[in-house]
Structure 1
Amino acid sequence: MSELFQLLLTDEIEEELSWQERALCAQTDPESFFPEKGGSTREAKKVCLSCEVRTECLEYALANDERFGIWGGLSERERRRLKKGVL
């Protein structure tokens, strides 16, 4: 790969992930976003409700098939339903 192509690719990836720096979850306890099986998702979803990058977060999770945790205010089960068109 040429150096220019690598720089462009790196810039593109950094731009795509820049939303993560503004995410409220980055400023809170990460454990609440990855609860134990059967654990409450309430606190994490509450944080997501007021997060300015909620949409980008959910899009990322869906595009990358994130299987664990709360992303964009939705649990694993809710994201699966969304992908299937049930939600």
Structure 2
Amino acid sequence: MTSMRVYTDSNITPEPWMAYGACLETGGEIFFPAVGDVETAERARAICDGCDVRNQCLTYALERREKYGIWGSTNERQRRRILKGQP
């Protein structure tokens, strides 16, 4: 099983499904790109797109109103739209 160390340095509450995230293979920094760093955000989304726990990740971010980072292949703006029921 992969270590969950990526999640212990922040306010993220470790969940069992996180042990299966594709993000664990990359570190974690890529999922928190600088504002305007579209290239890094796209690389992060590509990793999410192939992840087995992508839906759980997105649900986690939506429930906690995560304001930063790529979660379940979405950024904060996309998550706000989902929460508002917009396409």
TM-score by length of 1: 0.78
Please provide the CA RMSD for this pair: 1.5
Q: Which has the larger radius of gyration?
A: 1
**Identical-pair percentage:** 41
Any stretches of 5+ residues in structure 1 without a counterpart? Answer: 1-12
Deviations 1:23-82 (A, max 9, x none): 011111312110001112100000001000000000000011111000000001000011
Any stretches of 5+ residues in structure 2 without a counterpart? Answer: 1-12
- More helix per residue: 1 or 2? 1
Matches within 5 A, 1:6-85: 17-40=15-38, 41-85=41-85
Whole-angstrom CA distance in 2 between matches of 1:29 and 1:43: 13
Q: Show structure 1 runs of 4+ deviating over 6 A.
A: none
Whole-angstrom CA distance in 1 between matches of 2:47 and 2:66: 19
TM-score by length of 2: 0.78
